[in-house]
Amino acid sequence: MPSPRRCFGALSATGCVHRFISECDAGHGDHAVSGARIIRMDIGKVIGYSLPPACLAGILVYMFRTASKANSSALVSVPPARLDVFTSPRSPGDAAASILKFAESRHLRLSHITSDRSCIVLSDRPSIMSWGFYYPIYLKTLGKVLQVGVGTKSRYRQDQDWNPIANAKHKAMVAAIRAALT
């Protein structure tokens, strides 16, 4: 019968085969049975230690893809729950131009804009702390005053009322748009 060193010479780089060879060389029982048990046990450890991180990575990739493919045009007809409204003395065309200029300066992406520019949806990128947000901005003329509504909608399940990240992003965006339109 050939020695285990010759049979598994090609696999000798793995620790399980080294243990198999040393156990067989030491003369502990039938090397075919004990070696198979050791190899199976070590492969189980490798799978057990590498499978959870791989699953977690797969779940994170799925969530990033889902967040990046979220539909921003749905925000045109249905405003988000987190919405602040204020007035501005500017005209709707001037306000829309100021908002687009503001978005460019802050590196926000223009996700959607209606043909009459009554709804402009901006978005930011996902970060370590959030999946990213949509910021729909509604412009409506009320006599000589422009009513501006600024909302915040998460790209992926961060819309709870108690969420501090969403609240901080919303407050910062409302303050920045208000400053840009005054």
Ranges of beta strands (E only) in the chain are 82-88, 109-113, 119-123, 133-142, 145-154
Q: In the predicted model, what is the mean pLDDT of residues 107-121? A: 90
Reading phi first (left if > 0) and then psi (alpha if -120 to 50, else beta), residue 2 is in beta
DSSP conformational letter for 13 = T
Strands 145-154 and 82-88: antiparallel
How does residue 70 score in pLDDT terms, banded at 50, 70 and 90? low
- Going from the C-alpha of 158 to that of each of 14, 19, 130, 131, 166, the distances in angstroms are 45, 50, 8, 8, 7
Residue 142, strand partner residues:
145
How does residue 177 score in pLDDT terms, banded at 50, 70 and 90? very high
Is the pLDDT at 102 greater than 90, yes or no? Answer: yes
Predicted local confidence at residue 18, as pLDDT: 47
Tell me the DSSP string of 35-59: HHHHHHHHHHHHHHHHHHHHHHHHH
Is the pLDDT at 29 greater than 70, yes or no? Answer: no
Is the pLDDT at 120 greater than 60, yes or no? Answer: yes
The pTM assigned to this predicted structure is 0.61
